[in-house]
């Protein structure tokens, strides 16, 4: 059971697309992605600084484009082997495309709309997000409630992401729950909270014009870690999820329940593999950060393909 996972916002770093552009055919593909998302992804992924790619309008299409690009390059080299897919937050759009629910064009177009709508919602109030690592979960949730913050991401591995007013996040950092570390995240708003409600209807309207197909592989949702077999329902879930928590912990529990034997995280990889190493100890994983990581991903997929051919 090899599962492909796609990262969410905050995984981007300045210049991370540069090595990918050395591969033949990548530049025109990214130019096409840029037209669909209405963002210059090549400039964003090679020349823009950290603050520029922190902008939600840029970050979300940039991450999904990188994920789909690396997915296409890997599956061209090794078309068999994946048994399931899941994405973290905006990464769910890459997962939907990888599962055949929507076309890459739809994924990039919708993510462009999502990023702009969420940026507009974030501009209404000064908000943000911080990762709370360690400590007792009930104590962490109690402290967040005390400050009026929302546990927006349950990431597993002892990590909860708090979201809400900037002043409340500052208070959390000043007086964190016992045994925790609080790390501000490079995002521009309190995503997956009620602050994002205005963006929900914008994306719902855009999604209504998209044709959805049934997933071709197992598809897990951030909503509660369950499997979604209906494409239209999967699209509805990613709309609602803008203003509701990400249950990545539930997704990883679901991976364990089906006997996951390997995880491959697509570009800009690293975050989800890091969580899996703590929550799914002993499960082999590969984070595809650069083109050089594609061979390790192929090697992880190879035993799965060989087993499938012998059955």
Residues annotated as catalytic (active site), given as ranges = 89, 192
Three-class SS of residue 131?
Answer: strand
- Backbone angle region of 10, left / alpha / beta, with phi > 0 → left and psi within -120 to 50 → alpha: left
Instruction: Report the C-alpha gap between 294 and 274 in whole angstroms.
Output: 18
Q: Beta-strand (E) ranges in the chain?
A: 2-6, 82-87, 127-134, 150-156, 159-165, 180-184, 218-219, 262-265, 285-287
What are 88's two structure tokens? Answer: 């973290």
CA 142 to the chain's CA centroid = 27
Q: Number of helices (H) and strands (E) in the chain: give both, helices first.
A: 13, 9
Backbone angles phi, psi at 177, to 5 degrees: -60, 155
Q: Nearest to residue 141, comparing CAs of 245, 221, 58, 41?
A: 245
Token couple for 217: 């592989």
Q: Which helix (DSSP H) or strand (DSSP E) does residue 137 occupy?
A: helix 137-147
The H or E element spanning position 27 is helix 26-37
Q: Rounded to an integer, what distance in angstroms lies between the CA atom of residue 122 and that of residue 116? A: 10
């Amino acid at each position: 059971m090899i599962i492909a996972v796609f990262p969410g916002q905050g995984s981007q770093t300045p210049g991370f697309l540069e090595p990918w552009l050395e591969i033949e055919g990548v530049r025109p593909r990214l130019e096409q992605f840029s037209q669909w998302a209405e963002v210059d992804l090549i400039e964003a992924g090679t020349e823009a600084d950290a603050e520029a790619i922190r902008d939600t309008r840029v970050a979300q299409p940039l991450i999904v484009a990188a994920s789909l690009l690396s997915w296409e390059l890997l599956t061209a080299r090794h078309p068999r082997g994946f048994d399931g897919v899941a994405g973290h937050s905006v990464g769910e759009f890459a997962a939907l495309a990888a599962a055949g629910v929507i076309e890459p064009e739809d994924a990039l177009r919708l993510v462009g709309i999502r990023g702009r709508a969420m940026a507009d919602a974030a501009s209404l109030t000064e908000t943000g997000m911080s990762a709370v690592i360690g400590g007792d979960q009930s104590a962490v949730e109690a402290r967040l409630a005390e400050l009026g913050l929302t546990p927006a991401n349950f990431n597993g591995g002892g990590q909860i992401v708090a979201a809400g007013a900037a002043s409340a996040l500052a208070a959390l950092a000043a007086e964190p729950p016992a045994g925790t570390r609080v790390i501000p995240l490079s995002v521009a708003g309190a995503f997956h909270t009620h602050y994002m409600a205005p963006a929900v209807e914008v994306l719902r309207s855009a999604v209504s014009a998209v044709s959805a197909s049934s997933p071709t592989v197992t598809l897990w949702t951030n909503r509660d870690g369950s499997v979604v077999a209906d494409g239209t329902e999967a699209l509805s879930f990613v709309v609602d999820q803008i203003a509701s928590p990400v249950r990545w912990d539930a997704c990883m529990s679901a991976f364990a329940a089906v006997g996951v034997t390997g995880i491959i995280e697509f570009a800009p990889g690293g975050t989800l593999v890091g969580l899996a190493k703590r929550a799914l100890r002993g499960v082999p994983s590969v984070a595809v950060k650069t083109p050089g990581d594609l061979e390790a991903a192929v090697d992880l997929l190879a035993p799965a393909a060989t087993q499938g051919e012998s059955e």
